[in-house]
Amino acid sequence: MKIARIAVSHHRLPLDPPFRAAWDSIPRTQVQSTVVRVETDDGLVGVGSGDRMLGFAGHEHLFIGRDPLDLERHNRVIDNLSFHYGRCWPLDIALWDLAGKIKGKPCWQLLGGRSNRVRAYASSGTLREPASLADAARRYLDWGFAAMKIRFHRRDWRDDVAAVAAVRTAIGDKLVLMVDCNQGWRMPWDTADPWPLAVAAEVARALKDQDIYWMEEPLHRADYAGLRALRQQTKMRIAGGEMNREIHEYRTLLERECLDVYQPDATLVGGLTGLAEIGRAVLARGHVFTPHTWGDGLAVVANAHLAAGLGGAPYLEFPYDPPEWTLERRDYLLAEPFVATAEGCVMLSDKPGLGVELDTRRLAETQI
């Protein structure tokens, strides 16, 4: 069996009303997705999604005619391409989906997982007034979630802390709370400086009485000395790594003891192949490995397989913030939405590969 074809398509779903992401000053009027299909000479097809695959066109010959199960080899080539061009990791996801279909096993089992169940945390995406945020927390409780992540990025971090306090007052200890400071990276047009260590430490002190499970992206992603110092100054877990571009950055974060919680995204760096290795190293050090998942539904599913396959994640990110960010918007590529159970968990399929089907009609309607 050989790889016969690789196809890349781009899709756009209009959003009306727009989605106002906490980390983006420009309201989002559309969702864009890139889908990669890898087909064998006997007709099996693996699919993946993620970044735009910039620069991949013209390099298909590096994979055509090769054994689809030579995942380590393919991952090294994708790593080379991602250094020279854009992030081409959706191809690795598609190859894992294909490998599962060839072997007749779900990806989470191929990765060594023993359970298809992962407890989820509701990951909010918008900035709300404190009272509205407290109402959202109550709804998450009603839907069965045991944990919630609150976004920061208001003009004054004290207003962010006040919003957390409003939620804690409203729901007591019924929800585990995380906060995302959104300081690790910026949108291209956002020229604001990230917090210095002194500010991040002050924020950590202000959150001390709110029983926060982790403090995410409190400093720039490459401020290794600052992250390590912040870990030493607070008992709160420090999380990060969601948008780092290269695998070696996670080794540096580990070696310098910068984080308690590691959050790489398989669709953006390393794929399932590379992040399985990093995740095992993180777990061996006694830290938490739980992927970032803020993408389309296929990306969420891929990272869920990674978390279930490695095991040990206390919570997995579940992007869901209705009415602004709904399953219909997030999972428009999928024939059926990827839902959380009434107990606030995600349950992966026992079907081969990623275990999901794409909505071919919607793909045709949204293709650019």
* H helices present in the chain, as ranges: 71-84, 90-103, 107-110, 130-142, 157-171, 197-206, 224-233, 247-255, 271-284, 297-310, 327-330, 360-366
Q: How many CB atoms lie within 10 A of CB 249?
A: 17
Report residue 185 as tokens: 């990276």
- The candidate with the shortest Cα–Cα distance to 164, out of 326, 175, 119, 155, is 175
Average pLDDT over residues 17-34: 96
Chain mean pLDDT for the chain:
97
* Amino acid at residue number 346: V
Confidence (pLDDT) at 135: 97
Instruction: Give the angle subtended at the CA of 156 by the CAs of 224 and 162, to the nearest 5°.
Output: 100
Confidence (pLDDT) at 294: 95
Instruction: Please give the biggest Cα pair distance in the chain.
Output: 60
Strand partners, 334: 358
Confidence of residue 4 (pLDDT cuts 50, 70, 90): very high
- Ordered structural domains, the chain, with CATH: 3-104+360-366 (3.30.390.10), 110-347 (3.20.20.120)
Confidence (pLDDT) at 208: 94
Confidence (pLDDT) at 284: 98
What secondary structure letter does DSSP report for 329?
H
Which whole-number Å values give the CA distances from 45 to 2, 91, 354, in the listed order?
12, 12, 12
Cα atoms in the 13 Å half-sphere on the side-chain side of 292: 24
What secondary structure letter does DSSP report for 358?
B
Confidence (pLDDT) at 66: 98
What distance in Å separates the CA atoms of residue 37 and residue 17, rounded to the nearest whole number? 31
**Are the beta carbons of 40 and 62 closer than 8 angstroms?**
no
Average pLDDT over residues 245-269: 97
Integer Rg of the chain from CA: 20
Q: How many CB atoms lie within 10 A of CB 141?
A: 17
Average pLDDT over residues 110-118: 97
What secondary structure letter does DSSP report for 353?
B
Confidence (pLDDT) at 286: 97
Confidence (pLDDT) at 250: 98
Give the DSSP letter string of 127-170.
---HHHHHHHHHHHHHTT-SEEEEE--SSSHHHHHHHHHHHHHH
Q: In the chain, what percentage of residues exceed pLDDT 90?
A: 100
Dihedral sign of CA atoms 46, 123, 249, 279 in order: negative
What distance in Å separates the CA atoms of residue 287 and residue 58, rounded to the nearest whole number? 40
Report residue 98 as tokens: 């294909």
Confidence of residue 303 (pLDDT cuts 50, 70, 90): very high
- The candidate with the shortest Cα–Cα distance to 342, out of 205, 58, 192, 146, is 146
Contacts (Cβ under 8 Å, ≥6 apart) of 127: 20, 22, 151, 153, 154
- The predicted-structure confidence for 157-187, as pLDDT tens digits, reads as follows 999 999 999 999 999 999 999 999 999 999 9
pTM: 0.97
Confidence of residue 40 (pLDDT cuts 50, 70, 90): very high
Contacts (Cβ under 8 Å, ≥6 apart) of 259: 227, 231, 238, 239, 240, 241, 253, 287
What distance in Å separates the CA atoms of residue 26 and residue 20, rounded to the nearest whole number? 7
